[in-house]
Every structure is written in C-alpha cells, then in structure tokens.
Amino acid sequence: MSEPTAMEHTSAHTIARVLTEALPYIQRFSRKTLVIKYGGNAMVDEELKRGFARDIVLLKQVGMNPVVVHGGGPQIGRMLDQLGKESRFVDGLRVTDRETMDVVQMVLGGLVNKEIVNLINQFGGRAVGLTGKDGGLIRARRLSHRRGAADDPEASEIIDLGHVGEVASIDPAVVHMLDSGDFIPVIAPVGVGEDGAAYNINADLVAGKMAAVLNAEKLILLTNTAGVLDDEGHLLTGLSARQVDELIASGVIHGGMIPKIQCALDAVKSGVRSAHIIDGRVSHAVMLELLTDKGVGTLITG
C-alpha cells in the first residue's frame, strides 16, 4: 500500500476533527427535545430535502428527540393556482375560506407531510406524520387579526381571515408517546376548533408553541435567508429581545420575518433554552447548527 499523500492526510485530519467536534454536542443534546420548523421556502430542491431528512435521522440515532413542524405555503399556493383559485395574504397570513381550507389540509396533511415522513423513513428513521387533529394535538381558535397601528385601536380594524387560527392549547401526549417509542413526529400546522372545524395556523406559530409546551432545548426555524439580516444585508449572528424590538421599529425586520422572530422570542421567554433562525438553503444546515462549533444563522435570546 502506498503512503497517503499530504492532501489525503490533511483531509483525513479535517474529517477526524469535525467528527470529534460533534461529541460534546451529542452529549449535551442527548435525550433533549429539539423542535425544528421546516418552512416551505426551505424545501427547494430534492438534494436539500434528502439532506434535511438524513440530519433528522442522525439526530434521532444519536439519542436526541427531534420534532419536526413543517410549513408548505408555496406548495399550497401552487395547488390553489392549479385549481384556478387565487391566493390572498394579509400581513403574511393566508386568507382561508372553506374551499381554501380543504386545499390547505390536503397539501399540508397529505402531500407535504407524507413527503417528509417518507424521506425520513427512506434514510432509516421511523417518522409518523400528524396534523393537529391527530391525538387532539393542537386545539385552535379563530384568529382575530388586527390590521393597522397595533397601539392605536382607532386607527386599526379587525380583519376576517376565515379559517385562520391560533394555537389555543397543545396536548403533547401523542408526541411524548412517539418520542419514547423511538418514532419521529412530523407535524402539519392544522388545528381543530371546539366546534370540530379545521384551522390553518402559521407554521412558525405552531413550532414556537410546540417548543414551549415540550420544554424543548432548542427551537430551530429553517428559512430562505442566511438568518436575520441588518439594513446592509449582513447576517446578525445574535439578537436580544430589545434589539429585535428596535429592528422591527426601524423596519429592518419586516414581512414574514416579524412573526418568525416573535415566535422565537416567545419560545425563549417560555423557557426554551435557545432559538435559531437558520438558512434552509444550505445543505445539512440542521447538523451544522447542532453539531459544530461554527453554528449558522441568528441566535435569539430572551
């Protein structure tokens, strides 16, 4: 056998270093619950989706309890488009009439949920897909959405968004049962009202509440930016509640990033150890965040 070249030696050394670096993280997060929100915008290509599924299987294999909450906004939009139905949003929330609600349930609970479940299972995991209806997991109530100046009721109005809900309560029994049975829960953000009606809930909201109720070690929100960016487009690696307020007030944080960061803040205030907004377009983003010294994206602290 020939001697390894200098290049082979360096690369073997790097691999060993990276693997060793993972050990303290594996020890720290073993048996801990990690809620990972997989946004529809981060499910952009097949290779990335497979990388995500592999990461989840690996985390479970080394003793952590990953709980996946997924979105699927763009996928719902495409299906509505195919059916000739318009998508309408108010402040980032989809106006959801009865017909749209049916499509939301079909796409989130059927298509997207089962695609993620299937991918995880193909890599050797045991994923089980749930909507908030299963096992009475997510109780919802109709969201009363106020549009306009939040601090001035005179200048704002309540908008009827139809079947858009917020989380009223979460009964985590079914998630605990799956975790303890070595299954990986994959949750679609559909809740059920007292009247038995289905409600469409923003997936960030569900992930944040789920992390709080499960007393998770971490909430990781995967999206389609490097994390939270400043006004010059540079990544902000760490943010406190006060800094977040300032960035929202100055308009640097806007649109879909506002509910996302608020969910992250709420989760941290409710006892989740840390929340991260990371770039789902980077392959193996979850593994890099959890198992390397580098970390990726923005860390939000209370």
Ligand X SMILES: CC(=O)N[C@@H](CCC(=O)OP(=O)(O)O)C(=O)O
Ligand Y SMILES: Nc1ncnc2c1ncn2[C@@H]1O[C@H](COP(=O)(O)OP(=O)(O)O)[C@@H](O)[C@H]1O
By the criterion CB under 6 A, which residues form the site for ligand X? 39-41, 71-73, 76, 93-94, 104, 164, 189, 200, 202-203
> Could you give the string, one character per residue 129-168, with x where binding to ligand Y holds by CB under 6 A and - elsewhere?
----------------------------------------
- Site membership for ligand Y, residue 77 (CB under 6 A): no
Residues placed in the known binding site? 72-73, 94, 200
- Site membership for ligand Y, residue 73 (CB under 6 A): yes
Identified binder of ligand Y from the candidate list 33, 34, 35, 39, rule CB under 6 A = 39
203 closest CA partner among 191, 193, 188: 188
Identified binder of ligand Y from the candidate list 25, 26, 32, 41, rule CB under 6 A = 41
Q: Look at phi and psi of residue 278 and say left if phi exceeds 0, alpha if psi is from -120 to 50, else beta.
A: beta
Torsions phi, psi for 37 (to 5 deg): -95, 120
Return the biggest CA–CA distance within the chain.
81
Q: Which residues contact 110 (CB under 8 A, 6 or more apart)?
A: none
Pick what 66 binds: ligand X, ligand Y, none; C-beta below 5 to 8 Å, kind-dependent: none
Pick what 200 binds: ligand X, ligand Y, none; C-beta below 5 to 8 Å, kind-dependent: ligand X
Pick what 162 binds: ligand X, ligand Y, none; C-beta below 5 to 8 Å, kind-dependent: none
Tokens of 68: 């996946």
185 closest CA partner among 221, 111, 134, 260: 134
Cα 197 to its chain centre, rounded Å, is 24
Q: How many residues bind ligand Y (CB under 6 A)?
A: 20
Pick what 265 binds: ligand Y, ligand X, none; C-beta below 5 to 8 Å, kind-dependent: none
Residues placed in the known binding site for substrate? 72-73, 94, 200
> Could you give the string, one character per residue 217-256, with x where binding to ligand Y holds by CB under 6 A and - elsewhere?
------xxx--xx----------------------xxxxx
Q: Where are the alpha helices (DSSP H) in the chain?
A: 6-29, 46-61, 73-82, 98-104, 113-122, 173-180, 203-213, 241-249, 257-269, 285-291
Q: How far apart are CA 151 and CA 154, in angstroms?
A: 9
Is beta strand 127-131 parallel, antiparallel or unpaired with respect to 184-188? Answer: parallel
The smaller minimum CB distance to ligand X, of residues 37 and 54, is found at 37
CA atoms within 13 A on the CB side of 162: 17
Residue whose CB is nearest to ligand X in the complex, by number: 71
> Could you give the string, one character per residue 87-116, with x where binding to ligand Y holds by CB under 6 A and - elsewhere?
-----x------------------------
Least gap, CB of 44 to ligand X (angstroms): 11
Q: How far apart are CA 11 and CA 301, in angstroms?
A: 36
Which residues in this chain contact ligand Y in the complex, by CB under 6 A? 39-42, 71, 73, 92, 204, 223-225, 228-229, 252-257, 260
